[in-house]
Amino acid sequence: MVGAIDDRLVSRLAERVPQLATIVYHNRLGTQLERVGRVRALAQAIAQKIGADPALAERAALLAKADLVTHMVGEFPELQGTMGRYYALADGEDPRVADAIEQHYRPRFAGDALPGNDVATALALADKLETLAGMFGIGQQPTGDKDPFALRRHALGVIRMLVEGNLPLSLFDLVNAAFSVFPQGMLGDAHTDLETFVFERLRGHLREAGYGANEIEAVLCMRPVQLDQVPRQLEAVRAFAGLPEAESLAAANKRVVNILKQAEAKGESFINAEAGMLREPAERALFEALRKT
C-alpha cells in the first residue's frame, strides 16, 4: 500500500483532476478532462430527473476518473474506482459521492450488481451514455465480434439500470441529452442508430430472461419510450395470449392493420371521411375516437 500512502501525501483527489488533461480519451473525442466535463453535465441532468442530489452527482462525476492519475491505479488498473472511493473518503467527501466513484463502473459484467444509490446510478448512466453517444457519433459502432469499447456492455448496463431500477426515464430523452453535451460539430447524427442498438441489446436481454420472440416483438415494435414499462407490457402480452379469444382477436387486428396499410398506399385517410356517411354506432364511435387522437 506504499503507493496509496504516497498518493495521499501528495494531494487530494480533487487536486488531481486537472492532470486528466494529459490523458487522451480518444483522438477524436478529446482528453479525459474534457470527457469529465461532459459526464458532469449529463450526470447532473439525470440526477434531477431521478430525484438524486444534482450537486452530489456533479461532484462525483468531477472526481470519478481522478484516481486514474494516482500511482496505485497506474500500477494496478483493476483498482480504478475502488481506490477512488478510498481517496474520496479520506478527503472527507460525502459517502454517497465516494460510493458513486466506485460504483459508476457497474454493472461490469452480466449479472453484476447495479449501483447502490441514486447518485451512483445517475453517474453510471451518464458515464455509459456519454461513451455510447461519443463512439456512435464518430462511427465507432461494434461490428461483428469486434467491440473494442465495450459498447454492448454499456448498452446492457443502461438497460438494466432503467428496467431493474424502475426508472421512469425516456430512452430517447437520455440519448438526446447524451449527444447534447458534446461540442457542436464533434459528432455525426447517430441518435437513431444508437436507439436501435439499445433496442437490439434489449431484445437479447429479454430472450435470455425467457420471453418468446413474438412476445418481445409485440412490445418492442412500438419502440416504447420508457424501458421500465417493458416487463409489465410483456406480462400483459403473455396474459392476453392465454385468453381463449386471443387468436381470433389477433387475426382481426392483423386484418385491420392490412386494411389501413392499403388505404395509406392509396392516399386514403379517415380524416377525409364524411361523418354523415357513417351508419353504424360503432363506426361513428370509432370515427370520433380517431379524430381525438
In the prediction, which pLDDT does 10 show? 60
Cell of 273: 371521411
Task: Residue 40: give the domain boundaries.
Answer: 2-188
Label residue 223 left, alpha or beta by phi (over 0 means left) and psi (-120 to 50 means alpha): left
Domain-terminating residue out of 173, 188, 203: 188
Number of domains the chain is built from: 2
Residues 177, 265 share a domain: no
Whether 11 is in a domain gets the answer: yes
CB 124 within 8 A of CB 105: yes
Look at residue 162 in the predicted model and tell me its pLDDT.
98
Nearest CA among 78, 125, 121, 128 for reference residue 100? 121
Sign of CA dihedral 54, 56, 59, 60: negative
- How many residues in total does the chain contain? 293
Exposure class string for 66-77: b at 16+ Cβ within 10 A, else e = bbbbbebbeeee
Cell for 62?
Answer: 468531477
What is the per-residue pLDDT for 293? 66
Residue 128: give its domain's CATH number. Answer: 1.10.3210
* Domain identity same for 159 and 270: no
Q: Return the amino acid letter for 173.
A: D
Q: Which segments within the chain are labelled E, that is strand? A: 24-26, 30-31
This prediction's pTM: 0.88
In a domain, 79, yes or no: yes
Per-residue pLDDT 10s for the chain (293 aa) are 445 545 555 689 999 999 999 999 999 999 999 999 999 999 999 999 999 999 999 999 999 999 999 999 999 999 999 999 999 999 999 999 999 999 999 999 989 999 999 999 999 999 999 999 999 999 999 998 899 999 999 999 999 999 999 999 999 999 999 999 999 999 999 999 999 999 999 999 999 999 999 999 999 998 999 999 999 999 999 999 999 998 898 899 889 889 888 988 888 876 677 778 888 898 888 888 877 76
As a whole number of angstroms, the distance between CA 123 and CA 290 comes to 42
The pLDDT value given to residue 131: 98
Same domain, 168 and 282: no
What is the C-alpha separation between 261 and 59, in angstroms, rounded?
52
The domain boundary residue, chosen from 172, 188, 204:
188
Q: pLDDT at position 250, please?
A: 85
206 part of a folded domain: no
Residues 254 and 142 grouped into a single domain: no
